[in-house]
Chains A and B, each alone.
Chain A
Amino acid sequence: MTAQNVGIGLFLVVGTGLIMAVFVWLAIWLERSFKK
């Protein structure tokens, strides 16, 4: 496993996590905005 391999793996994990965090944040924000 080279540095390139580790870098790609990290990029994919962190990237997926960040994109997912945006969607989850949107879900939470929508719930709060629409709650009476």
Chain B
Amino acid sequence: MADQTHAPVAARDPKKTYGLADLVRGGAPGTARPPEETMFTWPHLVYVEFLAMLASTVVLIVLSLLSGAPLEEAASADTTPNPMKAPWYFLGLQELLVFFDPWLAGVVLPGLIIVGLMVIPYIDINPKGIGQYNYTDRKFAVLTFCYGLALWYIFIVVGVYLRGLDWGWYWPWDNWKLHKEAAAVSLIDLEIIMMQGLGIAQSTANLLTYLITGAFYAIGFTIPFLFFRKFYDALGFVRYNLMMFFFMTMMLVPLKVMIRLMFNIKYLLITPWFKI
């Protein structure tokens, strides 16, 4: 890749009104290539995108002709299906409802995903790889994004293929018509475990769970700051903290899910306002 230099793309004329892009410290976003090595978005890129859109439409039409999507019988309050499953693309969110309060799983977490994606252009000031598919120079960014996307799909896979009666976990070789015993899995809160294990009062144990959750974020925020200082210096205080908040929350969701599914711990942290 060509050397990225931060040459100003326009003369800094005090009489001229600049867009937001010019207010960002550290040079204007753009490519280091001279004009003769670049081409216009329209028509070169948009033309290809239009063709791709037409091709996708044809593929979708053919698929919808070949694959039936029959409606089930009319809904009846007497016979609610068990399990009640959302359309496949929402099953990841429905799966999250098992692990979090409804307003967290249904509102806050999807909201954080959308806001997190929206702030990427403001947080990501790395000029490498602009305008091209680039993995080599953007390993952390690409890997983080792919991880987040994989999380989205693994929950869908679980919801579609592994959730049966009463939203229990059914392997493909299990008998899907047999109700699993309700008492087969007894879930217990982390603070109860600590209360019994350490012989402390529940209020103390509750306080400890706050500390553990706080420590999770604190360690996550501190490690890159200590060991990848260049990363922090490049982003600056506000961008770094924003990015780490979204990153650590993204890591917390599967961690909580794993702790529940593997260790039968219901909630890590119980506050008067929410439980995680």
Contact = CB atoms under 8 A, between A and B. Distances in A.
B133 A30 contact: yes
B97 to A, nearest CB: 17
Nearest to B153: A19
A8 B151 contact: no
A16 B261 CA distance: 15
Interface in B89-109: none
For chain B, what secondary structure do more than half of its interface residues adopt (helix, strand, loop), or is it mixed? helix
Contacts of A19: 149-150, 153-154, 157
B261 A15 contact: no
Interface stretch (B75-83, B134-142, B226-234): B134-142
Contacts of A5: 261-264
Dominant secondary structure at the A interface = helix
Given A15-B157, A16-B151, A24-B135, A8 B262 contact: yes
Interface residues of A, number: 23
Interface in A1-36: 1, 4-9, 11-13, 15-17, 19-20, 23-24, 27-28, 30-31, 33-34
Contact of B262 (A6, A23, A24, A30): A6
Interface in B134-189: 134-136, 142-143, 145-147, 149-151, 153-154, 157-158, 162, 169, 171
Interface of B: 132-136, 142-143, 145-147, 149-151, 153-154, 157-158, 162, 169, 171, 254, 257-258, 261-264
